[in-house]
Amino acid sequence: MTAHLPDWMNRPRCDQTPAWRELGRCYEQTGRAFDLRQAFAAEPDRFDRFSVNAPQVFADLSRNRIDAATTRALLALAQECRLELHRDAMFAGEAINTTEGRAVLHTLLRCPRSAPGDAVTPALQPLLSEVHNTLDAMLDFAETLRADPAITDVVNIGIGGSDLGPQMAVLALDAFADSGKRLHFVSNVDGHELAACLKRLQPRSTVFLIASKTFTTVETMTNAHSARRWFEAEGGAGLDIGRHFIGLTTNLAAAGAFGIRTTFGFWDWVGGRYSVWSAIGLPLAIAIGAAGFRDFLAGAHAMDQHFRRAPLADNLPVRLGLLDVWYRNFLGFTSRSIAPYHSALKRFPAYLQQLEMESNGKRVDLAGQPLPYGTSPVLWGEPGTNGQHAYFQMLHQGTDVVPVEFIAVIKARHDLPGHQPMLLANALAQAQALMQGKVDAGGQKDFPGNRPSTFLLLDDLTPASLGALIALHEHRVFVSGSLWGINSFDQWGVELGKVLAKDIEPRLTSGDTDGLDGSSAGLLRRIRAVF
């Protein structure tokens, strides 16, 4: 790399370090044949040595295929790749999103207004003031809407991070929802989704939140215009559109042309999958109130400080990100299953899919050079105990080893007797069964065991703990992406299919197949025959 680049760009890629070679030796010496059962037998204190405490989250890493030597090599890898320098550059507002020339400052969205000087650089103080001015206005609006008895339903129309984040969080914190409002989320351009939502609504008592930074997102604006046509046709023509349609956007002109008067914007240094802390989080603020939303931000900020301050060995996002590199690049595990043992976290696996796979699903490094190793694993999962009766069969007895990330919450937010002990027992038992296995000479009932898992434990699912849990995974993704030498903050892979869709859509009417490949042309003709 050239000397004139900032220090944080003059970092070696993971495969260019002595630690990477040492990890290869660790794999050959112990990793390839590592057996968790033998490790626990030889290390009575293994649970204590491989557990990490972080704000709101306790992590048991002891059931992972790592030992002390591998852990030392992984920590050395983080140091040799100058991870801390890259992290500090992000928090300082450097333009680490290199392909778009942008800073990455979602952490500023949850930084307290009165944060000490070592938390926010002087250069960022004016931005922090803007953040809090917008936050105050958004929360004032949320409280006003919460207190409005004429409004019964709120519909969020967005896609990607503008949908997954607030939808996941609203579901997760349903126990704290006290506004009396019904919240709905529409993202898919498939009209069946919007139509099914609209049939349950009345224009007079509904508010639509149109979440699009540019106010040009095709899927979102298609749904928004359809919602407005429904609104006008079903009795809303005589009502004030400006009262019933709110813009979460920075394109004030386009929102105004739509009929929107009230908008809440955010900044180009906020990526969609990192935007739940911004105005995109308005549905959550409506659901749980301003105080709850501030607790949500505070939990995330506490995890930010942990990521910034904790030594690498005691830093949970760092430890998880390093583990992800070890599994992906040395043990060859290509996927990870997320198993939240709390029904309110039912959308958390989908949220993590976007967060990690959109961030780190890249095949070239910062210089645009092809990578000689894999990056993002495939993330998938369902809440326990549902997953146990579905895909856990493969986890226990399949030919592929899939690390599992259990997420459990100790306290219940209901008073139904017997349910919580049974739920927690199942989570503990599944992790135990994956590791221990069971021998069956006949083969059919043989469980090979030695299947790794991570156990994340929350005392309670609250706004603060959810904020911390999300921030933990944001920083974990940063860690692995930094070591792989990729830009975790762009998403060019989202664009090509959208561009081609604009070409294909008019062909469905015209029937023109010129220039299309044989498959696309054949499918188009078949669709037109029925369309």
| Strand partners for 499 | none
* Maximum separation of any 2 CA atoms in the chain, in Å: 76
- How many residues can be counted in the chain? 531
Amino acid identity, residue 330? Answer: F
Tokens read off for 349: 């696996």
Q: What are the 10-residue block averages of pLDDT along the chain, 531 residues in total?
A: 73 97 98 98 97 98 98 98 98 96 97 82 93 97 98 97 97 96 97 97 97 93 97 91 95 94 94 96 98 98 98 98 98 98 98 98 96 98 95 97 98 97 98 97 94 98 98 98 97 90 95 96 96 86
Tokens read off for 320: 């998880």
Where do the DSSP E strands lie in 349-391? 378-381
Q: Are strands 378-381 and 335-341 parallel, antiparallel or unpaired?
A: parallel
- Which residue is associated with the tokens 């990455």? 104
Distances (CA, A) of 197 to 8, 138, 225, 353: 47, 25, 15, 25
Distances (CA, A) of 456 to 58, 227, 346, 408, 463: 6, 40, 16, 6, 17
Angle formed by the axes of helices 463-484 and 83-91, nearest 10°: 130
pLDDT at residue number 2: 47
Distances (CA, A) of 414 to 17, 240, 339, 369, 417: 51, 41, 21, 53, 9
**In the sheet where 182-186 sits, what is the strand order?**
182-186, 153-157, 206-211, 245-248
Question: Left (φ > 0), alpha (ψ -120 to 50) or beta: where does 326 sit?
Answer: alpha
pTM of structure: 0.97
**In the sheet where 378-381 sits, what is the strand order?**
51-54, 57-60, 453-458, 404-409, 335-341, 378-381
| Strand partners for 102 | 97
Distances (CA, A) of 270 to 143, 162, 254, 274, 278: 24, 11, 20, 6, 8
Residue 61, classed as helix, strand or coil, is coil
pLDDT at residue number 1: 43
CA distance 333 to 339: 17
Which sequence positions are flagged as catalytic? 358, 389, 498
Q: Are 281 and 169 in contact (CB under 8 A)?
A: yes
Residue 34, classed as helix, strand or coil, is coil
Domains 7-94+311-487 and 106-288 share a fold: yes
| Closest residue by Cα to residue 526 from 511, 506, 505 | 511
Q: Are strands 404-409 and 335-341 parallel, antiparallel or unpaired?
A: parallel
CA distance 139 to 277: 12
List of residues 6+ apart from 271 with CB closer than 8 A? 97, 104, 106, 161, 489, 491
Q: Are 384 and 430 in contact (CB under 8 A)?
A: yes
Domain ranges of the chain: 7-94+311-487, 106-288, 495-530
What per-residue string of b and e applies to 490-513 under the rule 16 or more CB within 10 Å gives b? bbeeeeeeeeeeeeeeebeeeeeb
pLDDT at residue number 495: 86
CA distance 249 to 132: 17
Residue 45, classed as helix, strand or coil, is coil
CA distance 336 to 352: 11
What sign does the CA torsion over 70, 74, 75, 79 have?
Answer: positive
- Which residue is associated with the tokens 């459990």? 408
CA distance 86 to 392: 38
Residue 449, classed as helix, strand or coil, is coil
Amino acid identity, residue 490? Answer: D
| Architecture of the CATH domain 7-94+311-487 | 3-Layer(aba) Sandwich (3.40)
| Closest residue by Cα to residue 278 from 211, 347, 183 | 211
Q: What angle do CA 80, 83, 86 make, to 5 degrees?
A: 130
Return the CATH class of domain 106-288: alpha beta
User: Within 10 Å of residue 135's Cβ, how many Cβ atoms?
Assistant: 23
pLDDT at residue number 531: 86
Tokens read off for 244: 């019933």
